[in-house]
Structure 1
Amino acid sequence: MARASLWASVSPGSYSSNTEKMENIHDGDGTPSSSHQTVKGTAKWATSLENLLEDPEGIKRFREFLKKEFSEENVLFWLACEDFKKIQDKKQMQEKAKDIYMTFLSSKASSQVNVEGQSRLNEKILEEPHPLMFQKLQDQIFNLMKYDSYSRFLKSDLFLKHKRTEEEEEDASDSQTVAKRASRIYNT
């Protein structure tokens, strides 16, 4: 599964409670999507949170929504954990583990997430990191998003407006295709 690599695009120390710095996290791979791909987007997003989180445009829209709900840190934490799992180098893993802890989990975190058991995760564990060290906490945040924020997102004006725009673009594209076919038939 290809997931958006958001965490890797953030330089160490660039996360803080400052909204401007949170904007440094990029929403995807930077390649523009055609309207045809985007149309599939909202329909696919509506099938599962997993599908939404696999699409850079879906992540971007979900982040916009969560920002309005003052809970963007949840998806940022989840994405950070996904990227953390991919790190092979032990030193990089230690640095990222500390960044994740300081940004999302410590009592002084700038974008603290609300997870059970976070007090049991102390800085000592950061000395010997492993790819799945945040898994339980990541699962808690995923479930929180899935059973809370995600359902509200699908009913939100932001999602519904994006869906309507896609449908209108698809209808316009279909009309043009029909006109082109008709033109070819009559001009032959």
Structure 2
Amino acid sequence: MEKINDGEGHPSSSHQTLKGTSKWAKSLESLLEDPEGVKRFREFLKKEFSEENVLFWLACEEFKKTQGKKQMQEKAKEIYMTFLSSKASSQVNVEGQSRLSETILETPHPLMFQKLQDQIFNLMKYDSYSRFLKSDIFLNHKKSEEQEENSPEAQTAAKRASRIYNT
């Protein structure tokens, strides 16, 4: 699903990602607010064959911001066909998805997928997220952040800053 904005297209400066892993470890919500965190989490979920969960969650977040009935109908149908239909290419495993029939797509509303999105969020929060925090993807990113923080360039900049503020 190419149209979903997941933050991969945004360049991240070292200032944005500095201590990013600390923020990601705080909560799944914090992780999902950071484009770099989403990117790393997707990378992890891809290895676990469950990337569709975060893609569905992101699609639902985008859907809530959709304006106009026609655009909502199109996005709702796209989400349904991609994640919820029995023929979906990236089907998510949610309870009650069969009760969400195609007829609901005719009269979409911003929170129409909320219950299903909450189920997927809880699945990620209580299952995948804890494994992500123990994964090589997370730990290696954290290690490289710490090395960057302790690099001579970072320390020199910090010393210069302290001299400026301490004069």
The TM-score normalised by the length of structure 2 is: 0.90
1:163 lines up with 2:146 in the alignment: no
Structure 1 unaligned residues grouped into runs of 5+? 1-6, 11-24
The TM-score normalised by the length of structure 1 is: 0.80
1:41 Cα shift?
Answer: 0.9
1:90 lines up with 2:69 in the alignment: yes
Map 1:146-157; keep pairs closer than 5 Å. 146-157=125-136
Amino acid across the alignment from 1:117: G
Runs of 4+ in 1 over 6 A off after TM superposition: none
Q: Find the aligned partners of 1:154 and 1:55 in 2 and give their Cα distance.
A: 15
Task: Quote the residue 1:16 is aligned against.
Answer: none
Q: Find the aligned partners of 1:97 and 1:27 in 2 and give their Cα distance.
A: 18
Task: Quote the residue 1:14 is aligned against.
Answer: none
The alignment covers a number of residue pairs equal to 163
Q: 2:111 aligns with which of 132, 135, 145?
A: 132
Percent identity of the aligned residues? 79
Q: Is the 8 A contact 1:115 1:137 kept in 2?
A: yes
Structure 2 unaligned residues grouped into runs of 5+? none
SS at match of 2:150: helix
- CA-based RMSD of the aligned residues comes to 2.0
1:114 lines up with 2:93 in the alignment: yes
Q: Is the 8 A contact 1:78 1:142 kept in 2?
A: yes
1:32 Cα shift?
Answer: 2.7
1:28 Cα shift?
Answer: 1.2
